[in-house]
Structure 1
Amino acid sequence: MLEAAAARVVCLVVICWLTAPRGAEAAIGVNWGTLSFHKLKPSTVVDLLKDNKISKVKLFESDPDCLEALKGSGIQVMLGIPNEMLAFLSSSTDASDLWVRRNVSRYVVKNGVDIRYVAVGNEPFLTSYSGQFQPYVMPALLNLQQSLAKVNLASYVKLVVPCNADAYEAALPSQGAFRPELTQLMTQLVSFLNSNGSPFVVNIYPFLSLYGSSDFPQEYAFFEGTSHSVTDGSAVYNNAFDGNFDTLVAALSKLGYGQMPIVIGEVGWPTDGTISANLTAAMTFNQGLINHVLSNKGTPLRPGAPPVDVYLFGLLDEGAKSTLPGTFERHWGIFSFDGQAKYPLNLGLGSRRLINAKNVEYLPSRWCVANPARDLSAVESHMKLACSVADCTTLSYGGSCNGIGAKGNISYAFNSYYQVQMQHEQSCDFDGLGMVTFLDPSTGECRFLVGVTTSSSTSISQLHHSPAIVWIWILITWRVWIFVE
């Protein structure tokens, strides 16, 4: 009896803390991805967020190290669940109870982590997934909602499903509609979101429209005016973001939810790896987007009503991401992998410029380059090995290191591998074709990286990206939890 009474008191204290009045909430947040060969310490990243007054962050999975670092920070968190876990979470409320206990209720305590959203899957309706995740979305949502209710968090932690913009389509924004094969599922999803006070989360990428079509007018991707405006009745669209946003508004309206709040889960512009991915374009796009959103101008279908929140993609470069979407995929960060600002950006949150990460611990200032005294004619296999392990995407056409010549390419590949291997002596051998230098070989905009020291090896967050390992992890944690309970 005493234990039960104590538990109720603790619950009341936490609820009071959660619902206490808070200051004005900025609309700009960031996505914090962790797929990097050179991970900053999570505490360093949280300090970076705080120094830049970024009060909203989106995580793609429940990384214990990141969540521990976020404790007591006051930063609002959208916590992601990988698509590969949806089948497990849809299987039973026992499964969802386990996930909520381990990843939400243990952290949402006084002076804990301020988890506001749980993102159930990430773009699970993508056409390229051929519907493989669709059957699990609604069952997972319903189970998780019950599990949150059991721990008295259902009214505070909102469930959302980040959707890609390919979930809807139209020739003109006012004609927007969800894909025919998704209409029934989207009706269920939007009804669920509306019933539980959750917003619709969408990822919008004008860069990908430009990248995917040679006919797409480049000016239309930005916010500085265009000669390729789109006229839709009395509405005129001068940028792709507004056009895409209103296409979603029209699609929601067709389902009877035209006023549903919308959150932009991902939006941004890469800085390297291909044509049109560069520092100038990224700065122009992101600053234009921020100014546009914070102006409260809204869009033709929602005048004076911009998105509730906008999460820039992303916070840091992620050199270990898949390049399947394109060689630009590892270069979305507004900061480089080591937390250094790539370009001036005013987030509208206080400081007019980005503030760099502090106390970053680098490896020694040395690099691996091609040995000028050796015949390099047999180097191709070594380069392939180096680039299959490390990141060489800046050497791609349009990349910042594309013009450094054949020997420069070899040196860049060698050094990338050398840094990933934490500068281990043998990792610069390459059958005698490599050599260590203490002179920085960077040239022009092409930066030869020096790695940072990492505090941990492979983490659970990395394991989530392998479906086979996901299930092993699930089974192990299930057994461990039962044993502990």
Structure 2
Amino acid sequence: MTALKYMQAIVLLLGILVPALKTTAQSIGVCYGRNGDNLPSQQATIDLCKANRIGKMRLYHPDQAALQALRGTDIEVILDVPNPDLQSLQDPAAAKTWVQNNIQSYTPGVNFRYIAVGNEVDPSTGNSQYVNYVLPAMRNVHDAIVAAGLQDQIKVSTATYSGITSGFPPSKGEFHDNAKGFIEPIIQFLAQNNLPLLANIYPYFSYLGTPQGNLDYALFRSQSPVVSDDGNRQYWHLFDALLDTIYSGVEKAGGPNVEIIVSESGWPSAGDREASVENARTYYQNLISHAKKNGTPKRPDKLVQVFLFAMYDENQKGGAETEKHFGIFDPTSQQSKYQLSF
């Protein structure tokens, strides 16, 4: 091979590898909540993300100090519209103002990628009072994004969760009957506008809810397939099975090409059965490794984008004791609890 051809081959190889490496590096993010009285400042948190090469972040409300700290970092951001704000965004003018204040005011500068209009709204849960507000708010926020000329950069969605679906094996997955009237029009709206669905997926809670659950299956440690589906689909990991169950539900709801972004996933380090530092370390390490290299059996050619829950243990979170112990960084020392590599 001549020197010129050798150099051409190297350039071609780099042209192939660099985009692939970029996709891999950007597949993992972190969810940043602030339900604690001992948390570092927003600026310190963004600095911590930069130091650990975290390229994605989810914010649960338009935290002005966090958005200021994110300016110029190129960290990709999911910004939530909190559930209590959904009713106000039934007014298109209010949605336009929300986008102006919380998106356009920081653009360019903050690398917004998704807006989560509501989180885990479900007709059968305590969030049922928001059911009628989600889709109209999504439409209005999407229209405001389009009017601002940002539709190619920022995708509007909502964050659902695996508890809204059921079915086994994953190809049998579908949305619960009492949720179909709520979620199917949302899926169709996403499909019509080439928008993704955000989904929170927790093998830990699925494991707890399954008598004689398979811990290795939940922690990405299975040495052989646990579930066979559609003849040639083999499931070694509960995470993949939960995600593909949602994909099946989305397909049946009219969104065969809708991509799913995993907007939360994590494992607690204390508070209940199998909630330990060692299990949490195993889950997070294996999830990162899995997401960087693999799709799911249903979507094998599409790397999964995952946001780890959560940045810190949050000592003022409500609900079960485990809710306070999902942090991957210690809020006091700002040291990684699990020595994760992003």
The TM-score, its normalising length taken from structure 1, stands at: 0.63
Aligned pairs (5 A) from 1:9-88: 24-25=22-23, 26-88=26-88
Structure 2 unaligned spans of 5+? 1-18
Q: Distance in 2 between matches of 1:304 and 1:158?
A: 22
1:441-476 Cα offsets, whole Å, 9 max, x none, are: xxxxxxxxxxxxxxxxxxxxxxxxxxxxxxxxxxxx
Q: Distance in 1 between matches of 2:291 and 2:138?
A: 30
Q: Distance in 2 between matches of 1:118 and 1:299?
A: 24
1:66-120 Cα offsets, whole Å, 9 max, x none, are: 1111111111111011111111111x112112211211111112xx211111110
Query: Aligned in 2, Cα 1:271/1:93: closer, same or farther, shift over 3 Å?
Result: same
Q: Is residue 27–residue 303 contact of structure 2 (8 Å, CA) maintained in 1?
A: no
Q: Is residue 126–residue 167 contact of structure 1 (8 Å, CA) maintained in 2?
A: no
Q: Is residue 168–residue 248 contact of structure 1 (8 Å, CA) maintained in 2?
A: yes
Q: In structure 2, what is the equivalent of residue 480 of structure 1?
A: none
Q: Which has the higher contact order (CA 8 A, sep 6+)?
A: 2
Residue 238 of structure 1 is aligned with which of 233, 236, 239? 236
Opposite residue 257 of structure 1, the aligned amino acid is G
Q: In structure 1, what is the equivalent of residue 6 of structure 2?
A: none
Q: In structure 2, what is the equivalent of residue 342 of structure 1?
A: 337
Q: In structure 2, what is the equivalent of residue 265 of structure 1?
A: 263
Q: Distance in 2 between matches of 1:262 and 1:248?
A: 8
- Do structure 1's residue 93 and structure 2's residue 92 form an aligned pair? yes
Which moved further from structure 2: 235-244 or 213-222? 213-222
Q: Percent identity?
A: 34
Shift in Å, 1:39: 2.2
Structure 1 unaligned spans of 5+? 1-20, 348-485
Residue 279 of structure 1 is aligned with which of 277, 280, 285? 277
- Do structure 1's residue 105 and structure 2's residue 101 form an aligned pair? no
Shift in Å, 1:273: 1.9
- Do structure 1's residue 114 and structure 2's residue 111 form an aligned pair? yes
Aligned pairs (5 A) from 1:140-159: 140-159=137-156
Q: In structure 1, what is the equivalent of residue 287 of structure 2?
A: 289
Query: Aligned in 2, Cα 1:126/1:220: closer, same or farther, shift over 3 Å?
Result: farther
Shift in Å, 1:141: 0.9
Query: Aligned in 2, Cα 1:65/1:177: closer, same or farther, shift over 3 Å?
Result: same
Q: CA RMSD in A?
A: 1.9
Shift in Å, 1:44: 0.9
Larger radius of gyration: 1
Aligned pairs (5 A) from 1:394-409: none
Opposite residue 47 of structure 2, the aligned amino acid is D
Q: In structure 1, what is the equivalent of residue 10 of structure 2?
A: none
Give the secondary structure class of the aligned counterpart of 1:125. Answer: coil
- Which segments of structure 1 move beyond 6 Å, counting only runs of 4 or more? none
Shift in Å, 1:61: 0.5
Q: In structure 2, what is the equivalent of residue 319 of structure 1?
A: 315
Query: Aligned in 2, Cα 1:279/1:130: closer, same or farther, shift over 3 Å?
Result: closer
Opposite residue 197 of structure 2, the aligned amino acid is F
Query: Aligned in 2, Cα 1:74/1:126: closer, same or farther, shift over 3 Å?
Result: farther
Shift in Å, 1:227: 6.9
Give the secondary structure class of the aligned counterpart of 2:140. Answer: helix
Q: Distance in 1 between matches of 2:143 and 2:168?
A: 40
The TM-score, its normalising length taken from structure 2, stands at: 0.88
Q: Is residue 219–residue 228 contact of structure 1 (8 Å, CA) maintained in 2?
A: no
1:213-246 Cα offsets, whole Å, 9 max, x none, are: 4432222211111578122242222221111111
Q: Is residue 93–residue 143 contact of structure 1 (8 Å, CA) maintained in 2?
A: yes
Q: In structure 2, what is the equivalent of residue 452 of structure 1?
A: none
Q: Distance in 2 between matches of 1:57 and 1:196?
A: 24
Aligned length: 319
Opposite residue 78 of structure 2, the aligned amino acid is M
Q: Distance in 2 between matches of 1:221 and 1:197?
A: 32
Q: Distance in 2 between matches of 1:52 and 1:183?
A: 41
